[in-house]
Structure 1
Amino acid sequence: MTSSDERPSQTSMEELLLRRYSRAGQSAWLIRLRIGAKRFAWVAVVRSAYLLKRALDIMLAGPLFILLLPIFGLLVLAIRLESPGPALFKQTRVGRWGQIFTMYKFRSMYMDAEARKVELLAENEMSGGVTFKMQRDPRITRIGRFIRKASIDELPQLWNVIKGDMSLVGPRPPVPAEVDEYSLSDRRRLEVTPGITCIWQVSGRSDIPFPEQVELDVRYIESQSLLTDLKLLWQTVPAVLFGRGAY
């Protein structure tokens, strides 16, 4: 492991850059100007990409959340009629760079679901063992099975998007217990703001093993753009309608 003394100082890094960008007969101040311009351009590109993504989130999530409020009211009534208790499920999730936040979902399980999970761990159908999934999970209510199949249970996360905890598009936010089991390469999923939909969400969802989910998330992180986000949002519509891999 490299010690702090062995790490290049700011001065030595500048000297390396000066040698790299130096040209015959060119003065040091002009080289520094070129380096500064490249640094400024890089920061501008990164920040503008973030601002465009954030603008897309607000423009789509805000109006959609308001339009869906009457439907939310009906769902709250249906959920509570079948299973007494809060209709909204709050869960701690891990966001960008390990930041903890509260994620919202419509409750699709009975109130004792977390306590019963221990009894069902041996029946986990998710390859890799990091996340837990069962096609016929006995903890899921009848209305819960419907809203999961149609991904309606995820709609309260529009509020997370408006708050800035999440984005419309990005890797799904894991629970802390899952992150504890992540390998170093798995943690690459935490390099960006988590999202409601992502590549593997539109490509089979829970049918895709966890290692492949990580690969697809990393592919998104390395190639993300506004066009990619718009394409994934468009692909989310048929994925939700057909419900492939949703359970």
Structure 2
Amino acid sequence: MSEIALGSGAPIIALIGFDSNLTAAFAEYNFGNRQTVHFENALKMVSAWVAEKLPIVAIISNSEIMGTAGLTLVETLKKRELPSVPFFLVVNHLNANLRKLALEGGVTDVFRLPLRSAARIEKRVDFLIDNWEGLKNNIETTASIRKIELSKRIFDLIFAGGALLVLSPLFLIVYILIRLESKGPAFYYSLRVGTGYRVFKFYKFRSMYVNADQRIKDLKHLNQYDIDAGDGTKKPIVDHGLCEQCIGYGKCQYPIFADNVQLCEKEFQYTKKASAGSAFFKIKNDPRITKVGAFIRNTSIDELPQLWNVIIGDMSIVGNRPLPLYEAEKLTTDKYILRFAAPAGITGLWQVEKRGKGDMSEDERLMLDNVYAQTYSLKNDLKLILKTIPALFQKENV
């Protein structure tokens, strides 16, 4: 970031996560009296904006739509109550559904790489900045999602609240055991995608060692969904100048500002061949799991903190499982987008239907998610719960 540029007092167009080539290209663009200032990541941009009261008039972020510097950053800016400015994304992957998702989520416009027309980008950015005050209230920022029944919400609050009260002694015991076995916090949260592609914090008991994410690149050949699909070979990983932790993902992991701490969420691994892989990642007998972690997973105790997600309205007791960012971005086609119209839930139709019947394919799981989205109601939820009570806190690897 240039201190000389910041001292000029000129309006700033903040560039986030750009590589040197993209930064140099935008430096040549003509945005009138506005200066472009590059920030390494969203956290640094937000911190500088707040601390130095920067005159930022637009943000251009190099991130996939579901990435941590995409829709997640839009939500963070809203929660921080920072000034509303045009927000642009520069992405590798784009289709009609992704564009619609981005615009409904608060992104002003999306540009796809490689950028071909400097004049078009200059004109579009300048127009939106110049006319932002009159345009911002007319931009659609909420997806059209079927409203959840009041009775279903009341049931969720009563059930989750009662369960938290009854299970509080168990929470304390598990907390102590986790802290005694391995270093690190007993609870953690990751960013998940739920109803209407809304990103939220997903709480669980920690069941893995703290450096578990660093080992994914060494275990991708064990991904059960790829093996089931007939692709059991390990694909070569190409080092594009990334650090040790990021090589396995093929893209830099951008930190984001959340609750006054730096959060590092796994960025979706996007390459030209990403679409050929499975949208889900699952390993049998995963060596990253601790001994206590194996027990709480087998008994589904690790899922219990999600009751808090139900209390605050992120999830429902019954619904479609919320997905990590890198999985959700692969499910934006017309075939799968329906699953995100349903509430995100702790348990759902596919857990109940497939319990005790062996492993399920990815297509089966997504088909059942779509069926639930079309038929969910409190009455049907109660039928699912009564049909198999043990599935209520079903573990991930059903």
- Normalising TM by the smaller chain, what interval? 0.7 to 0.9
Deviations 1:73-97 (A, max 9, x none): 1001111111111010211001111
**Relative to 1, partners in 2 of residues 1:50 and 1:239: Cα closer, same or farther, differing over 3 Å?**
closer
Corresponding residue of 2:187: 88
Counterpart of 1:65 in 2: which secondary structure? helix
Alignment of 1:25-40 (within 5 A): none
Q: Which amino acid aligns with 1:137?
A: D
The offset of 1:237, in angstroms, is: 2.2
Moved more, 160-169 or 206-215: 206-215
Quick check: 1:62 aligned with 2:161?
Answer: yes
Quick check: 1:101 aligned with 2:200?
Answer: yes
Q: Which amino acid aligns with 1:116?
A: R
Corresponding residue of 1:165: 314
The offset of 1:123, in angstroms, is: 1.0
Deviations 1:164-207 (A, max 9, x none): 00000000000110012224122221112200000111233682
The offset of 1:240, in angstroms, is: 6.7
Retained in 1: the 8 A contact 2:346–2:392?
A: no
Counterpart CA distance in 1 for 2:315 and 2:388 is: 17
Corresponding residue of 1:199: 349
Alignment of 1:94-133 (within 5 A): 94-126=193-225, 127=228, 129-133=278-282
> Aligned to 1:139, which of 252, 268, 288?
288
After TM superposition, where is structure 1 displaced by more than 6 Å over at least 4 residues in a row? none
**Relative to 1, partners in 2 of residues 1:72 and 1:236: Cα closer, same or farther, differing over 3 Å?**
farther
The offset of 1:133, in angstroms, is: 0.8
Q: Which amino acid aligns with 2:365?
A: Q
Corresponding residue of 2:178: 79
Q: Unmatched 5+ residue regions in structure 2? A: 1-95, 97-145, 230-277
Deviations 1:11-36 (A, max 9, x none): xxxxxxxxxxxxxxxxxxxxxxxxxx
**Relative to 1, partners in 2 of residues 1:101 and 1:233: Cα closer, same or farther, differing over 3 Å?**
same
The offset of 1:239, in angstroms, is: 3.7
The offset of 1:246, in angstroms, is: 4.0
Retained in 1: the 8 A contact 2:156–2:311?
A: yes
Quick check: 1:228 aligned with 2:380?
Answer: yes
**Relative to 1, partners in 2 of residues 1:178 and 1:119: Cα closer, same or farther, differing over 3 Å?**
same
Corresponding residue of 1:186: 336
Corresponding residue of 2:39: none
> Aligned to 1:213, which of 365, 378, 398?
365
**Relative to 1, partners in 2 of residues 1:240 and 1:197: Cα closer, same or farther, differing over 3 Å?**
closer
Retained in 2: the 8 A contact 1:200–1:208?
A: no
Retained in 2: the 8 A contact 1:92–1:103?
A: yes
Q: Which amino acid aligns with 1:86?
A: P
The offset of 1:225, in angstroms, is: 1.8
The offset of 1:236, in angstroms, is: 4.3
The offset of 1:244, in angstroms, is: 8.8
Question: Greater relative contact order (Cα 8 A, min sep 6): structure 1 or 2?
Answer: 1
Quick check: 1:156 aligned with 2:255?
Answer: no
Counterpart of 1:104 in 2: which secondary structure? strand
Counterpart of 1:202 in 2: which secondary structure? helix
Q: Percent identity?
A: 43
TM-score (norm 1): 0.75
Corresponding residue of 1:177: 326
Q: Unmatched 5+ residue regions in structure 1? A: 2-45
Counterpart CA distance in 2 for 1:104 and 1:236 is: 24
Counterpart CA distance in 2 for 1:245 and 1:181 is: 19
Task: Report the structure, 1 or 2, having the larger strand content.
Answer: 2
Counterpart CA distance in 1 for 2:153 and 2:395 is: 29
TM-score (norm 2): 0.48
The offset of 1:224, in angstroms, is: 1.3
Moved more, 206-215 or 152-161: 206-215
Q: Which amino acid aligns with 2:173?
A: L
Counterpart CA distance in 1 for 2:374 and 2:392 is: 25
Retained in 2: the 8 A contact 1:199–1:216?
A: yes
How many residues are paired up?
201
CA RMSD of aligned residues (A): 2.3
The offset of 1:132, in angstroms, is: 0.8
Corresponding residue of 1:11: none
